[in-house]
Amino acid sequence: MRLALAQIDCRLGNIPANIATHRAACAAIQAQGGADLVLFPELSLTGYRLRSDIYRAMLNAADFAQVWAMLCAEGAVPPAMSVALGYVELTDRSALHNTTALLRGDNAQPLLVHRKVYLPTYGMFEEERYMRPGCRFRIADLPMADGDTWRVGILCCEDAWHSSAWLIMQAYGVDLVLIGSASPGRGVEAERLGSQTSWYGILSTHAELLGCWVAFCNRVGFEDDIHFWGGSAVFAPTGELLAEARTMEADLLCCTIDKSAITTARLMTPLAADEQWPLTLTELKRAVSERWEE
């Protein structure tokens, strides 16, 4: 499939401006030959550090449908193109979530809605101060024009720092993991930002262990004191870095990925096929009940 990572800047609480940025990114992708799937960063429609003003940027189902319609207006999103984007969701139980939705240009019904499970609330992060954790990881099957079907899973930023989330993705047998991120830049001792070094290690290792494609789209820009470092990237089922975007600047990364690379990787190193699921589940249950439950 043709995959595009839209490494954009986002304006805090400014949904109209952010819709325009999404539309411009889609237009740029069309100009570069189009894509089957576009990945935007975490909370791309709202910006990240909303703090106590989060309620001014939240979207319930009807609001979001309207926003999606505005984004797609005048053919900005081709019918067969899928888009993964982020926003603050207000559910019908009045809970706020850090949500990523995957939709196709020809359909207002999302293919997949992922509510971020792991909300970092330590140090500079305070997501769980304002939002509630999701309770599932989800996958969707995307049919391509060439007849291939891609099984796609979504993780959001901190989710990807939990190996358990990757294990779940592996259990579902995903071909491609999409990760939208708003990662602040830190760690200035070495050639690269510490954040980038840590992230790329995680992504490469898990791409290789799962034998799947991994797409990481991190935003750029500043919000008050913090800055986001970009560095969006695509990792192959061997763990190799296939494509890398610029750091600290808006960018657009387009590449073609194919399922045969997955098959090859898994034939050479059949980790998922060798995985002993019943053992894993039994051990997890045992360890958790011994160590984690009261």
Question: How many residues belong to the site for another protein (CB under 8 A)?
Answer: 23
CB-wise, 10 or 169, nearer to another protein? 10
How far, in Å, CA of 22 to CA of 43, rounded? 12
Q: How many CA atoms lie within 13 A of 89 on its CB side?
A: 20
The answer to whether 124 contacts another protein (rule: CB under 8 A) is: no
Cβ neighbours of residue 111 closer than 8 Å, sequence gap 6 or more:
82, 102, 103, 104, 140, 142
DSSP string, 59-109: B-HHHHHHHHHHHHGGGTS-TT-EEEEEEEEE-TTS-EEEEEEEEETT-SS
**Whose CA is closest to 201, among 252, 243, 153, 235?**
235
Which residue's CB is nearer to another protein, number 49 or number 206? 49
- The single residue among 6, 12, 177, 202 that binds another protein, judged by CB under 8 A, is 12
Q: Is 190 in the site for another protein (CB under 8 A)?
A: yes
Q: How far is the CB of 225 from another protein (least distance, A)?
A: 8
Per the structure block, which two tokens stand in for 187?
Answer: 């760690």
* Region near another protein per CB under 8 A, out of 24-32, 79-87, 182-190, 276-284: 182-190
Distance from chain centroid for Cα 179: 2
The span of 37-45, 91-99, 183-191, 230-238 binding another protein (CB under 8 A) equals 183-191
List, as one string, the DSSP characters of 116-141: -S----STT--HHHH--------EEE
Interface map 38-77 toward another protein (x if CB under 8 A): -----------xxxxx------------------------
Work out whether 191 is an interface residue with another protein (CB under 8 A).
Answer: yes
Q: Which of 248, 250, 255, 272 binds another protein (CB under 8 A)?
A: 248
* Residue (197 or 205) nearer to another protein, CB: 197
Query: Which stretch, 64-72, 76-84, 87-95, 189-197, contacts another protein (CB under 8 A)?
Result: 189-197
Q: Which of residues 262-281 bind another protein (CB under 8 A)?
A: none
122 binding another protein? (CB under 8 A)? no
Q: How far apart are CA 3 and CA 144, in angstroms?
A: 12
Residues lying near another protein in the complex (CB under 8 A) are found at: 11-14, 17, 49-53, 185, 188-193, 221-224, 227, 248
